[in-house]
């Protein structure tokens, strides 16, 4: 039970940023209208709320451009967040 509680507490300090093949960004299930780096950075700050050092979890569609992922990383840097992780998905059957 203690380990489960610790894992759950960690997840509240995560901000999930998804980007699709069209370059549309979604932060914690909230779509962004403007995909600029400054807009992303401000949205990350809002999503962080009171958390001082959140983990930014990047979930990029296989068709997303490298630049769209770099934009998330740059927005994280501008917001002052250095902890970045990437979500992965296993292929079916493997």
Q: CB–CB of 16/27 below 8 Å?
A: yes
Confidence at residue 90, expressed as pLDDT on a 0 to 100 scale: 66
Structural tokens at position 64: 């997303």
pLDDT digits (tens, 9 = 90+) for 39-91: 999 999 999 999 999 999 999 999 999 999 999 999 999 999 999 999 987 66
Q: CB–CB of 78/37 below 8 Å?
A: yes
CA dist., res. 94 & res. 82, Å (int): 32
Q: What is the CA radius of gyration of the chain?
A: 14
> Band of the pLDDT at 5, cuts 50, 70, 90?
very low
46 phi and psi angles, rounded to 5 deg: -65, -45
pTM greater than the 0.85 cutoff: no
């Amino acid at each position: 039970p203690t380990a489960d509680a610790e894992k759950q507490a960690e997840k509240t300090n995560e901000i999930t940023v998804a980007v699709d093949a069209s370059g549309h960004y979604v932060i914690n299930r909230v779509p962004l209208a403007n995909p600029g780096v400054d807009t992303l950075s401000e949205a990350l700050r809002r999503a962080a709320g009171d958390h001082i050092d959140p983990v930014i979890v990047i979930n990029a569609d296989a068709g997303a451009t490298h630049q769209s992922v770099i934009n998330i990383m740059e927005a994280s840097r501008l917001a002052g967040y250095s902890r970045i992780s990437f979500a992965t998905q296993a292929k079916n059957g493997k």
